[in-house]
């Protein structure tokens, strides 16, 4: 009655007072001490207005399910003072109705809207998907926790920093996957599980223990902001796709003396990766390990690896020096293993190489020399091994006793085959008899001499067919070119002494 009278006489003041009451209700904090299964009764009918909930006593999965599904305004949840009891009853989440004690139950707080959550200090494990997709912005793993289940915090976009202490003994796959705003991680275990941080697109820093042993499948896949990673000295294995599509700029693992396995596409599609350093003890380098790493310039092939798997370096177009791409004991090169390296001019084939797969060296447009002087036999070739390579313009150096076999072998016979220890300084490609025109080298100076008519024009090309030098109207029997400014040692020369013309291959001494 007093309120009604007040409204009629002082409407503005009533409006103000009523507004104040509404704000007070909207910011309601509730603190309750409960027994398992009684949290809903303790909160009461005003559940829609609870923004802060502090719980002590004991709860079970049913109580936590109530918190997640029935408190729409909840911003802060403090469970630090509770113990979690076992639950066996009606199905709550993910078709489950049986949850153990001392565990944050599986999926029980999945999708929780509260931005601040303090987990029970007494729990020893965090269940699978326990807080998947929750809006939590900060997280502290209780000291008593020994295990964290698969996808426990997957998709928690509010997280920016997490610490997994060394006291945790087991972490499931995908534990922080797709946490898109996660920037820094401190990780205390020696093994990083599969997909642990996959899709964490803002991740820039990962602190790991000195004894890190393994990085499992897809652990950092699509971590596009991760430019560097400390591999330590104890790493043994890097799983399939572990860093694929990440932002890594270098991968320095040369100090990992025990590293033996790098999985397929482990560093594939890292378009900012420029340098890779591997220890010689690596025995397995998976298919596509560095697939389409378009910025990769420097990499060494481990001495203990015998097989170059398919697609290992395919698309590494920035590599221009192949001297470290093949170890001396490699016996097999898989399909497309080195395809697309269009800047490499020379490759040395290992002595034990026995077979080369389809399109293995496709697109080596700058290739001018294949050195196979130490090879023990003619390697068998798959289809189109050298697709796109102008084979007649490539010098192939082979042992004396194998020259005949190379010259009769499909694909190999297309090259300019030369016995080991010799250099075919001039090879006639066409036109007038080569005795009419000769070439000679004096250091970088190339001299062209005509024994018959005056030289009219000279054009100098590299082996890939790019024009390096051209001169017309020479009208002399000799002509010299200083090749000191050119990086290649192998050339094609086209000489005209009208009406005749001749072309030569030649190699600078």
Q: Quote the pLDDT of residue 425.
A: 40
Q: Quote the pLDDT of residue 142.
A: 96
Q: Residue 3's beta-bridge partner residues? A: none
CB 82 within 8 A of CB 57: yes
Q: What domains does the chain contain, in order, with CATH numbers?
A: 306-422 (3.80.10.10), 426-507 (2.60.40.3080)
For residues 429 and 442, give the distance between their C-alpha atoms in angstroms, rounded to a whole number: 23
Q: What is the dihedral of CA 395, 401, 405, 406, to 10 degrees?
A: -10
Q: Give me the mean pLDDT over the 398-413 stretch.
A: 94
Higher pLDDT, 112 or 345: 112
Q: Give me the mean pLDDT over the 395-424 stretch.
A: 84
* Percent of the chain clearing pLDDT 90 (strictly above): 76
Q: Give me the mean pLDDT over the 436-449 stretch.
A: 88
User: What is the helix (H) or strand (E) element at residue 19, kind and residue range?
Assistant: helix 11-26
For residues 256 and 278, give the distance between their C-alpha atoms in angstroms, rounded to a whole number: 8
Report if pTM > 0.95.
no
Q: What is the pLDDT of residues 351-392, one digit of tens each?
A: 999 999 999 999 999 998 899 999 999 999 999 999 999 998
Q: What is the pLDDT of residues 132-149, one digit of tens each?
A: 999 999 999 999 999 999
Q: Residue 312's CB: how many other CB atoms inside 10 A?
A: 29
Q: Quote the pLDDT of residue 165.
A: 94
pLDDT, the chain, mean: 90
Starting at the edge strand found earlier in the chain, the sheet holding 355-356 runs 307-308, 332-333, 355-356, 380-381
Q: What pLDDT band is residue 298 in, cutting at 50, 70 and 90?
A: very high
């Amino acid at each position: 009655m007093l309120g009604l009278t007040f409204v009629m006489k002082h409407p503005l003041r009533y409006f103000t007072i009523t507004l104040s009451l509404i704000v007070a209700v909207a910011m309601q904090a509730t603190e309750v001490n409960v027994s398992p299964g009684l949290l809903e009764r303790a909160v009461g009918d005003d559940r829609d207005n609870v923004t802060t909930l502090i719980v002590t006593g004991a709860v079970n999965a049913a109580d936590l399910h109530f918190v997640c599904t029935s408190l729409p305004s909840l911003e802060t949840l403090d469970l630090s003072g509770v113990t979690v009891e076992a639950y066996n009853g009606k199905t709550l989440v993910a078709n489950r109705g049986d949850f153990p004690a001392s565990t944050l139950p599986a999926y029980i707080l999945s999708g929780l809207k509260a931005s601040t959550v303090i987990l029970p200090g007494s729990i020893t494990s965090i269940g699978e998907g326990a807080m998947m997709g929750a809006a939590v912005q900060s997280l502290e793993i209780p000291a008593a926790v020994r295990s964290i289940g698969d996808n426990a915090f997957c998709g928690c976009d509010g997280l920016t920093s997490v610490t997994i202490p060394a006291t945790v003994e087991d972490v499931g796959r995908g534990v922080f996957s797709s946490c898109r705003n996660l920037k820094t991680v401190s990780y205390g275990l020696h093994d990083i599980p599969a997909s642990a941080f996959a899709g964490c697109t803002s991740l820039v820093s990962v602190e790991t223990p000195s004894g890190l042993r393994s990085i499992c499948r897809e652990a950092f896949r699509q971590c596009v902001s991760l430019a560097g990673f400390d591999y330590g000295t104890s790493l043994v294995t890097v799983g399939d796709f572990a860093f694929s599509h990440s932002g890594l700029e270098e991968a320095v693992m040369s100090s990992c003396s025990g590293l033996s396995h790098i999985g397929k596409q482990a560093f594939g599609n890292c378009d900012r990766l420029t340098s890779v350093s591997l220890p010689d003890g690596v025995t397995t380098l998976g298919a596509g390990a560095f697939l389409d790493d378009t910025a990769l310039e420097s990499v060494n092939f481990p001495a203990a690896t015998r097989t170059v798997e398919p697609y290992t370096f395919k698309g590494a177009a920035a590599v221009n020096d192949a001297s470290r791409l093949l170890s001396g004991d490699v016996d097999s090169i898989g399909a497309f293993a080195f395809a697309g390296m269009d800047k490499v001019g020379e490759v040395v084939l290992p002595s034990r190489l026995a077979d080369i797969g389809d399109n293995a060296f496709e697109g080596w447009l700058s290739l001018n020399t294949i050195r196979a002087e130490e090879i023990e036999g003619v390697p068998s070739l798959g289809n189109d091994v050298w697709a796109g390579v102008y084979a007649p313009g490539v010098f192939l150096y082979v042992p004396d006793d194998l020259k005949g076999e190379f010259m009769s072998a499909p694909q190999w016979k297309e090259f300019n085959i030369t016995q080991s220890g010799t250099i075919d300084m001039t090879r006639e490609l066409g036109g007038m008899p080569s005795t009419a025109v000769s070439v000679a080298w004096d250091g970088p100076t190339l001299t062209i001499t005509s024994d018959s008519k005056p030289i009219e024009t000279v054009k100098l090309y590299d082996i890939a067919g790019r024009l390096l030098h051209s001169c017309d109207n020479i009208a002399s029997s000799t002509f010299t070119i200083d090749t000191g400014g050119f990086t290649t040692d192998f050339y094609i020369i086209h000489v005209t002494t009208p009406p005749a013309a001749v072309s030569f291959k030649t190699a600078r001494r």
